[in-house]
Structure 1
């Protein structure tokens, strides 16, 4: 997979082996078979343009959508590859779309680099690639270029993905982690910690009677709804590794404000709250893949909340706190028992390899 995802005019080659071998990364006919059969056929369908080593874009078409280009990249090493509510392919597409969206950008196109461990069943690879194509199509985003590498057994764990995305930032929008002001309101778009809980359960570390699904979802349409309702929005950030706690600490430090949140207002699924209590985990630090933290001016808070709750991905949205001039750089939680505690940054991660 090297260059734009488009098929040559002849019939695509086919892979006959049941598993990926080192030859599939060697640059010869086996590699061409893999790329054309698994990637090009899935990502571009009936495309006919000659494959190149890069994707090309019409600058005038991009400029018509906004006045700045957003660019991001992310790697995905989740274990297991498939989990309730998603898989590594869906995760890679949604994660990169969301990184663009929370900067106020309309996602346009993605690239994908794939590192495959020798011996990976071809059915597994096909399922992941199909999931990527389906997720991208549903989100209205195209996967336009990429690369494939195959490494020896033990050099990686089954399959690693790296996706890069470009998007166009809406004209006049200026959001950022340093834009928060005292009095601003902190909003989240739903139940927190579901992705971290789903991964933990999929690894067999829990035996929940009610399986928890990952919240993995592309947020760009929700973001557009939020921006329309709160044009003065200060900041958005998707709460992935480190959870909401990491986002709020970054906000407090960058904006030079204090952040005060209320434990009773933090939306949690009872199952997530329960297993966190059993295992000694803090749900504020659990990863999410379909949740964002937004900071809006106080006069726009109710309109923002109503608009987000009206969206499919925001029905459980809640205002969880405010920014304050006191205790700048600190995140303080008002507990359900009437006390206070500092919500600090973790040194590491409660759960490794969740994305």
Structure 2
């Protein structure tokens, strides 16, 4: 994925300023021109084009997708705004889609709230909006409502984004961190730590020859394929801040089970291993933006793994461990040297401002 997003042609050249100023958040003509030029023309759907204070949809159209509503929200403050494989807009759209997908929901609608610092280049905002739309289109969702605020220079760091998402959960699904059972198999869909390592490189903390790219991507298509193979997936979560280690601890604690994973089966790029060795980081705690962890019944594990590997977002999928009866809340790693160590919940922050 190219980190430079082409700017789509605006429907009307309304904004002539090259940088954001306080009038763009005043609620007047300048603000409306910015919204229509950058957001309405880019996101391009009837619900947003109406420019009401909300987007309204018939309940019957939602019920066609399932029997429960899923609603989530998240805020994005990554530094730098643009990094190999994506940018803050890619994160915002994909992250919210994924939070819906991992509960078994079909993502349908997103909101986009932005906090802009005075002096931000308008073209930067255009690039970010284009990234959000590209991800939304790939995920089959629409960005239908939003909000814009402008703060004085020095009161924020360029651009913050908040997104909320609405989806509908398939009938009959019951996915929860509380549902892991002894004998279940732990699956991941690909290489761990790519996003965290890409941010390190983008901050020029490392000089690596490898072309590391963030794994930022919407995972709702992959999740749908997994659920088609096995509607009885017990636990499912995307491994963002805190990485796979934190997700496994959340599962173990919520379900009152132990989880054992095998280091030799954990998919890692050599470049990520090298980065972690240089900086003394554990790749199990590195943030991901396109990696999920699934806990599935043992009799269904091979079928789910095959479905994952058949999907573009799961070609490097692997079974990395199993669930055991106890000790409750414990996660243990069997190392490549034949030893074992406890993998605790992340304490502190390995890398701040990462998503």
Q: TM-score, normalised by structure 2?
A: 0.95
Equivalent-residue separation in structure 1 for 2:140 and 2:41 (angstroms): 18
Q: Give runs of aligned pairs for residues 27-46 of structure 1, distance below 5 A.
A: 27-44=27-44
Unaligned 5+ segments in structure 2 are 1-10
Equivalent-residue separation in structure 2 for 1:278 and 1:164 (angstroms): 37
Partner of 1:246, secondary structure, is helix
Q: Is the counterpart of residue 109 in structure 1 residue 113 in structure 2?
A: no
Q: Give runs of aligned pairs for residues 4-23 of structure 1, distance below 5 A.
A: 14-23=14-23
The residue number in structure 2 matching 1:69 is 69
Deviations 1:278-309 (A, max 9, x none): 11000000000000000000000011111101
Deviations 1:223-279 (A, max 9, x none): 011111122210100000000000000000000000000111110001101110111
Equivalent-residue separation in structure 1 for 2:152 and 2:323 (angstroms): 50
Deviations 1:201-228 (A, max 9, x none): 0011011101200000100000011111
Q: Is the counterpart of residue 130 in structure 1 residue 125 in structure 2?
A: no
Q: Is the counterpart of residue 324 in structure 1 residue 324 in structure 2?
A: yes
**Residues 40, 49 of structure 2: 8 Å contact kept:** no
Equivalent-residue separation in structure 2 for 1:12 and 1:211 (angstroms): 38
- Stretch moving more, 238-247 or 318-327: 318-327
Q: Give runs of aligned pairs for residues 154-303 of structure 1, distance below 5 A.
A: 154-303=154-303
**Residues 13, 32 of structure 1: 8 Å contact kept:** no
The residue number in structure 2 matching 1:311 is 311
Equivalent-residue separation in structure 1 for 2:36 and 2:120 (angstroms): 18
Q: CA deviation at 1:91?
A: 0.8
The residue number in structure 2 matching 1:7 is none
Equivalent-residue separation in structure 1 for 2:327 and 2:47 (angstroms): 57
Partner of 1:119, secondary structure, is coil
> RMSD between aligned alpha carbons?
1.3
Equivalent-residue separation in structure 2 for 1:341 and 1:129 (angstroms): 44
Q: CA deviation at 1:39?
A: 1.0
Deviations 1:173-220 (A, max 9, x none): 100000000110000000000000001100110111012000001000
Aligned length: 345
Equivalent-residue separation in structure 1 for 2:46 and 2:326 (angstroms): 59
Structure 1 pair 48/106, CA: closer, same or farther in 2 (3 Å)?
A: closer
Deviations 1:121-161 (A, max 9, x none): 01101110111112111211000000000001111100000
Q: CA deviation at 1:327?
A: 1.3
Partner of 1:307, secondary structure, is helix
Q: CA deviation at 1:310?
A: 0.8
Equivalent-residue separation in structure 1 for 2:345 and 2:295 (angstroms): 19
Structure 1 pair 160/229, CA: closer, same or farther in 2 (3 Å)?
A: same
The residue number in structure 1 matching 2:78 is 78
Q: CA deviation at 1:45?
A: 6.3
Partner of 1:187, secondary structure, is strand
Q: CA deviation at 1:76?
A: 0.3
**Residues 19, 121 of structure 1: 8 Å contact kept:** yes
